[in-house]
Amino acid sequence: MKTILIGTTNQGKVNDFKQLLEKEGMQVLSLRDLDDAIEVEETGTTFAENAILKAETLSRYYNQIVIADDSGLEIEALNGRPGVYSARYAGEHKSDEDNIKKVLAEMEGIPFQDRKAAFVCVLALAIPGKETKIFEGKCHGYIAEIPKGNNGFGYDPIFYVPEKEKTMAELSLEEKNELSHRKKALDKLKKYWDEHLQL
């Protein structure tokens, strides 16, 4: 069984990856599973820069195939914010709830049709001795006026998905994975894998 290290300690992201990769017969490990996990500082200004930085650093250190992602929320009315700062938008040690409150405060008074947003995920695949590849996925929606739903994590409670008429946090994990930004990026990665690697 092929082992893949996911370069994150975020349990929500790990669950998403396990759901998508384990049915392909891959063993998914995350930094939470390692006793000597190293932390890679995200100093990039784009999702791609951060994903590549994490994947290449971890792949070199552990001599292991690594998938690292950087993902976040881009809101049109906020000129693309919170963007790469999505996880720490309300401050370094704030919670998902604090981040949501900050976004909703900044969006106050903006009509629904102008609340367009996208979840963006960039995956970097680093394989020892090979060139790093990146894959991007996007999920388009709107910022809801109030949080709804108890599933998911991050901004899921305020990300309204028009085709489902629900927020991301009101969807089951299966429904979310059908349309999520991470699923779209991972589909591209798997297509590349099947065509070029067959590891």
Which residues have a catalytic role annotated? 70
**Residues across the chain:** 199
Using DSSP, state whether 148 is helix, strand or coil: coil
Is the separation of the CB atoms in 166 and 149 below 8 Å?
Answer: yes
What sign results for the dihedral spanned by CA atoms 171, 33, 181, 92? positive
Over the range 158-182, which residues count as b (16 or more CB within 10 Å of their CB) and which as e?
bbbbeeeebbbbbbeeeebbebbbb
Tokens 């200004």: give the residue. 45
